Amino acid sequence: MVTLNRLSVEDPDEGCPLVPEADEDTLPSPEQHRPLRITRKRSEAFFISRGANLTISVVLLISCYSAILIPAYLPSRKEVEVIKEPKDLVLLNQSASLLSSPCQPQWGLTHLKPLFCSAGLLNIPVFLQQEHPTLWEHTPPLGLQGSEVHMALALASLPEPGLPSSLSRKGHCRRCVVVGNGGVLHGSHLGPHIDQYDIIIRLNNAPVTRFERDAGSRTTIRMIYPEGAPHSAEEYKKTSMVVLVVFKSLDLDWLISVITKQPLSLWSKMWFWREVVEEIPLRPENFRILHPEIIHKTGQALQKYALKQGNMVPTLGASAVVMALQLCDHVSLAGFGYDMQHPESRLHYYEDIRMAAMKVQVVHDVSAEKLFLRDLVAAGAVTDLTGAL
Residue 111 has pLDDT above 60, yes or no: yes
Catalogue the E-assigned strands of 61-120.
none
Q: Is 59 part of any domain?
A: no
Residue 7 has pLDDT above 50, yes or no: no
Q: What is the CATH number of the domain that holds 126?
A: 3.90.1480.20
Residue 261 has pLDDT above 80, yes or no: yes
Q: Is 328 part of any domain?
A: yes
Q: How far apart are CA 314 and CA 37, in angstroms?
A: 102
Residue 386 has pLDDT above 70, yes or no: yes
Please report, for residues 87, 175, 206, 313, 364, the alpha-carbon distance to residue 140 in angstroms, rounded to integers and kept in the order given: 41, 30, 24, 10, 15
Domain carrying residue 118: 89-384
Identify the band that residue 269 occupies on the pLDDT scale cut at 50, 70 and 90.
very high
Instruction: Say what the pLDDT of residue 339 is.
Output: 60
Residue 288 has pLDDT above 50, yes or no: yes
Instruction: Say what the pLDDT of residue 8 is.
Output: 43
Q: Is 42 part of any domain?
A: no
DSSP annotation of 77:
P
Q: How far apart are CA 194 and CA 217, in angstroms?
A: 8
Strand arrangement of the beta sheet that strand 199-203 belongs to: 287-289, 239-244, 219-224, 199-203, 175-179, 330-334, 382-384
Q: Is 14 part of any domain?
A: no
Instruction: Say what the pLDDT of residue 67 is.
Output: 58
Residue 286 has pLDDT above 90, yes or no: yes
Q: Is 5 part of any domain?
A: no
Residue 95 has pLDDT above 80, yes or no: yes
C-alpha count within 13 angstroms, C-beta hemisphere, residue 355: 15
pLDDT digits over 119-130, tens only? 789 999 999 998
Q: Is 43 part of any domain?
A: no
Over residues 307-334, the mean pLDDT reads 93
| φ and ψ of 284, to 5 deg | -55, -35
pLDDT digits over 295-312, tens only? 999 999 999 999 877 788
Q: How far apart are CA 288 and CA 282, in angstroms?
A: 12
Q: How far apart are CA 361 and CA 340, in angstroms?
A: 13
88 or 368, which is more confident?
A: 368
The tally of domains found in the chain comes to: 1
